[in-house]
Structure 1
Amino acid sequence: MINFSRSSFTWQSHPWQADPHYKWAGGFVGTAGQSYHVRFTLEARCVLRDAAGAELAELFLGAPCRSEYTIASENLFQIPSGEWRMPFRRHSIPVIAGKASHEVEDVRARPLAGAYQDYKIDIRTCADATALTEVGAIVASTLAGDAQNARSIYRDEATGIEVELEYPVNVMNLNAADGEFQVCTGPVLLPDMATWDGRDVHRVFVAHAAFSRFDRVEFILRRPVAAAAEERAWLDQPRGRDRLELIDPDDPPPGYPPARPQPLVYSETWDLPAQNAVLRVD
């Protein structure tokens, strides 16, 4: 059982170099040559296994930030605001989907090596965890205040690969009198198995999970959507620094201006046969 709140990814950036066009490239507001450390905790894990049970891949989802300027003394939040979060493997960084699962995106995972000057992956676990697959035990564990993760295992029909997800139980619903429970929580990390090439999953989905039985799980997937034109009038209006401010307005880069952040919504659902359990420790 993973202790997600104590597990983390820490990187040290390469020394910052000024962008030839943008004044606040990457939201960085320091000076050339500075190098930052960034640490984020982990929120979910995904493991792929073949039919014999051999592990093929392990992926993690990191905690997000709201695209702040770093490291600033004021005007920390970028407006327009977007979300930044990073999925990763121990050797690569897949791409978070920007479209529905049936829509193809031409994306590739990028190598983790070289992305940062240095990095550390620190996975902490809880000893003596117990898997609960009986409603009464889940009720008792919840009311006792135990630390809980959920585990959901399903099989991808197209590839035959088993997908195991582990994620904290942030919300639990109970009807103790009638022996009912419901986990509804997130985020979780879902692999787009259509992009699996035997080494990497190139696209992943951020989703939430829910289950109230041990043999099925539902996921609701997140993706950006375009706001109506009348909403973009205020949504795209910078306040304070403008992330897209140019050093020389007469010398824009090709394709300027890039798209502003889009709202993120949860809509597409997957309802899958699964093996669910609640993991608990004191």
Structure 2
Amino acid sequence: MLDFTRSFITWTTQPRGRHPYYKWDGGFVGDPGDVYRVRTQVDSTMFVIEPDTGVETPFYLSYPCRTEMTIATDQFFMIPSGEWRACFGRDAVVPIARRPSSEREVRGRAPFSERYSDMDFALVDRSNVDALTNGEGVNEATQAGDVINGQTTYRDASTGLDIRIEFPIRLMNLDPEHAKFQLCCGPVILPDLTTWDGRGLDRVFLAEVAFSSFDYVEFILRREIEPAESEKAWFHEVRGRDRLELWDPEDHPPEPVRQTRPSPTVYHETRAFPAKNVILRA
């Protein structure tokens, strides 16, 4: 059982250089050569498990932030505003899907060495943990104010791989009289196993998770959408520094490095699996 309140990922950026096209690339407002340190909390975990060997490959979802200028003295938030968060494997950053699962995306994982000079995972496990597998225990632990995590494991039918996801339970619905419960939590990450190569992934989906029993789980996946034409004028309006401002307005970046405005997101596509669910109590 992971202690999400005390589990962090910390990294050091590579010395920042002048981007060949964008004046404020990544929201950076410092001087060339500056090096930043970043610490972020772990929001949830996912393991891809090979049942035959027991080998587990971990992935960690970071805490989110609004897109921002760093390290600035004012005008911190980028407008248009987006969300930044990341999925970290054991040696690479894995893209979070922008599109539904039926569509392919050209992005792939990036080794830590391309972006960071170091990367540290400080993961803290809780002690004296109980596994709750009945409604009475879940109701009791929740009403007692105990720290509880959810853990769900399902098998992917197409690959035979097991997927185990753990997350802090921040919301629980209870029916004490009938020993019923239902959690709805997140975000968590689900793998796009069409990109699995035995070592890592090239895409994960951001999702919310819900279950009310110990043998079934549902997820709802996030995707980007295009704002309505009537909303684009204000949605794409820039205030303050423009993240897409070019050093030379006549020198446009080629497609592989071209950046775009953030898009709104919705949760829409659902997935359901037979599962082994457990509530962990510390």
Give TM-score scaled by structure 2 length. 0.96
Q: Is the Cα–Cα contact under 8 Å of residues 112 and 119 in structure 2 kept in the other structure?
A: no
AA partner of residue 84 (structure 1):
W
When structure 1 is superposed on structure 2, of 146-155 and 95-104 the one drifting more is 95-104
Assess, with a 3 A threshold, how the Cα gap between structure 1 residues 259 and 187 changes in structure 2: closer, same or farther.
same
**1:205 maps to 2:205:** yes
Distance in 2 between residues matched to 1:187 and 1:26, nearest whole Å = 24
- Give RMSD over aligned pairs: 1.4
Counterpart mapping for 1:213-224 below 5 A? 213-224=213-224
> How big is the shift at 1:53?
5.5
- Please give the per-residue CA displacement for 1:229-267, whole angstroms capped at 9, x wherever unaligned: 221111000011111112232333335974211001101
Distance in 2 between residues matched to 1:5 and 1:236, nearest whole Å = 35
Distance in 2 between residues matched to 1:68 and 1:61, nearest whole Å = 19
Q: Is the Cα–Cα contact under 8 Å of residues 46 and 58 in structure 1 kept in the other structure?
A: yes
Q: Match for residue 81 of structure 1?
A: 81
Q: Is the Cα–Cα contact under 8 Å of residues 67 and 83 in structure 2 kept in the other structure?
A: yes
AA partner of residue 231 (structure 1):
E
- Please give the per-residue CA displacement for 1:104-151, whole angstroms capped at 9, x wherever unaligned: 223321212342112211111101111100111111100111111000
AA partner of residue 263 (structure 1):
P
**Count of residues paired in the alignment:** 281
Distance in 1 between residues matched to 2:115 and 2:240, nearest whole Å = 29
SS of the residue corresponding to residue 232 of structure 2 reads helix
AA partner of residue 105 (structure 1):
E
Q: Which runs of 5+ in 1 are unaligned?
A: none
Q: Is the Cα–Cα contact under 8 Å of residues 152 and 165 in structure 2 kept in the other structure?
A: yes
Distance in 2 between residues matched to 1:212 and 1:265, nearest whole Å = 23
Q: Match for residue 154 of structure 1?
A: 154
**1:38 maps to 2:47:** no
Give TM-score scaled by structure 1 length. 0.96
Q: Match for residue 21 of structure 1?
A: 21
Distance in 2 between residues matched to 1:261 and 1:270, nearest whole Å = 26
AA partner of residue 263 (structure 2):
Q
Q: Is the Cα–Cα contact under 8 Å of residues 214 and 277 in structure 2 kept in the other structure?
A: yes
Q: Is the Cα–Cα contact under 8 Å of residues 87 and 93 in structure 2 kept in the other structure?
A: yes
Distance in 2 between residues matched to 1:270 and 1:67, nearest whole Å = 29
Q: Match for residue 194 of structure 1?
A: 194
Percent of aligned pairs sharing the same letter: 44
Distance in 2 between residues matched to 1:112 and 1:92, nearest whole Å = 5
Distance in 1 between residues matched to 2:120 and 2:252, nearest whole Å = 37
Q: Which runs of 5+ in 2 are unaligned?
A: none
When structure 1 is superposed on structure 2, of 227-236 and 45-54 the one drifting more is 45-54
Distance in 1 between residues matched to 2:26 and 2:103, nearest whole Å = 28
Q: Following superposition, which runs of at least 4 residues in structure 1 exceed 6 angstroms of deviation?
A: none
> How big is the shift at 1:71?
0.6
- Please give the per-residue CA displacement for 1:193-248, whole angstroms capped at 9, x wherever unaligned: 11111111211001000001111001000011111122111100001111111223
Q: Is the Cα–Cα contact under 8 Å of residues 21 and 247 in structure 1 kept in the other structure?
A: yes
